[in-house]
Amino acid sequence: MNLNFTFKYSQSLRRYCFPLCHPPSRSIQYFPSAHHARTQLSALATVSALESPLYLRKTYEALSHWELVKLAGVTFDGRQENVKDLSPGQPVMLLREPWNPYDSEAVRVETLSGQQLGYIPRDHNNMFQVHEILFGHVQSVGQSVETDNWGAKVSAYPLLMSPFISPLPSQLYLNKADQGICNTSSVEREASTSLSEEGGLSEQVESKDVVSLYTAMLQSAIAPQHWQRLVEEARARGGGGCEVTGAPPGSATYLDVVPIWQYNEELHTIQLMRLAVVCREVSLTHYGLDLLPSTPEREVAISTLRSINDWSDDDVQEHWDHARHQRELLVLQKDMWSVDLSTS
Q: Does residue 193 lie within any of the structural domains? A: yes
**204 and 290 housed in the same domain:** yes
Boundary-marking domain end, from 105, 128, 156? 156
Boundary-marking domain end, from 126, 156, 186? 156
**175 and 224 housed in the same domain:** yes
Q: What is the pTM of this model?
A: 0.78
**189 and 104 housed in the same domain:** no
Residue 206: the pLDDT is 54
List, as own/partner pairs, every contact residues 250-253 make where C-beta atoms lie below 8 angstroms and the sequence separation is at least 24, other chains included: 250/49, 251/49, 251/50, 251/56, 251/279, 252/49, 252/50, 253/53, 253/279, 253/280, 253/281
* CA–CA distance, 23 with 247 (Å, rounded to integer): 21
Asked if residue 161 lies in contact with residue 131, where contact means CB atoms within 8 angstroms, the answer is: yes
Residue 197: the pLDDT is 42
Q: Which residues make beta-bridge pairs with 94?
A: 109, 134
CB-based burial of residue 1 (10 Å sphere; 0-12 exposed, 13-18 middle, 19+ buried)?
Answer: exposed
Residue at 233: amino acid letter: E
Neighbours of 314 (CB within 10 A): 9
Boundary-marking domain end, from 122, 156, 190? 156
Neighbours of 235 (CB within 10 A): 16
Secondary structure (DSSP) of 61-123: HHHS--EEEE-B-TTSTTHHHHHHT--TT-EEEEEEETT-SS-TTEEEEEETT--EEEE--TT
Closest residue by Cα to residue 68 from 24, 115, 13: 24
**11 and 107 housed in the same domain:** yes
**102 and 18 housed in the same domain:** yes
Asked if residue 88 lies in contact with residue 15, where contact means CB atoms within 8 angstroms, the answer is: yes
Q: Does residue 302 lie within any of the structural domains? A: yes
CA distances from 337 to 128, 196, 211, 215, 258 (A): 26, 19, 24, 21, 21
> Between the CA atoms of 283, 288, 291 and 292, what dihedral angle is there, to the nearest 10 degrees?
150
**207 and 81 housed in the same domain:** no
DSSP for residue 222? S
Residue 47: the pLDDT is 38
Asked if residue 278 lies in contact with residue 255, where contact means CB atoms within 8 angstroms, the answer is: yes
Q: Does residue 49 lie within any of the structural domains? A: no
Domain residue limits at 112: 5-30+66-156
Asked if residue 136 lies in contact with residue 1, where contact means CB atoms within 8 angstroms, the answer is: no
Residue 171: the pLDDT is 67
**71 and 121 housed in the same domain:** yes
Helix axes 313-332, 296-308, angle to 10 degrees: 110
**186 and 146 housed in the same domain:** no
Q: How many CA atoms lie within 13 A of 19 on its CB side?
A: 16
Closest residue by Cα to residue 41 from 240, 232, 234: 240
CB-based burial of residue 330 (10 Å sphere; 0-12 exposed, 13-18 middle, 19+ buried)?
Answer: buried
Q: Does residue 166 lie within any of the structural domains? A: no
**124 and 84 housed in the same domain:** yes
Name, in order, each residue with C-beta under 8 angstroms of 190's C-beta and a sequence gap of 6 or more: none
Q: Does residue 70 lie within any of the structural domains? A: yes
Q: Does residue 56 lie within any of the structural domains? A: no
Q: Does residue 162 lie within any of the structural domains? A: no
Asked if residue 208 lies in contact with residue 297, where contact means CB atoms within 8 angstroms, the answer is: yes
Asked if residue 120 lies in contact with residue 103, where contact means CB atoms within 8 angstroms, the answer is: no
**100 and 220 housed in the same domain:** no
Phi-psi region of 77 (alpha: psi -120 to 50; beta: other; left: phi over 0): left
Q: How many CA atoms lie within 13 A of 117 on its CB side?
A: 31
Closest residue by Cα to residue 242 from 162, 164, 298: 162
* CA–CA distance, 131 with 298 (Å, rounded to integer): 25
Number of structural domains in the chain: 2
**223 and 106 housed in the same domain:** no
Asked if residue 72 lies in contact with residue 118, where contact means CB atoms within 8 angstroms, the answer is: yes
Q: Does residue 277 lie within any of the structural domains? A: yes
Degrees to nearest 5, angle at CA 147 with 146 and 150? 115
Tens place of pLDDT per residue across the chain (344 aa): 444 433 333 333 233 433 333 343 333 233 334 444 444 444 443 434 445 777 778 887 887 888 999 999 999 999 999 999 999 999 999 999 988 889 999 999 999 999 999 999 999 999 998 899 999 999 999 999 989 999 999 999 998 899 999 998 866 666 554 443 444 333 333 333 333 444 444 444 455 578 888 888 888 888 899 999 999 999 998 888 889 988 877 656 688 999 999 988 888 888 899 999 999 899 999 999 999 888 899 999 999 999 999 999 999 999 999 999 999 998 888 888 888 888 76
DSSP for residue 194? T
Q: For position 138, which CATH number holds?
A: 3.30.70.2330
Residue 176: the pLDDT is 52
**138 and 181 housed in the same domain:** no
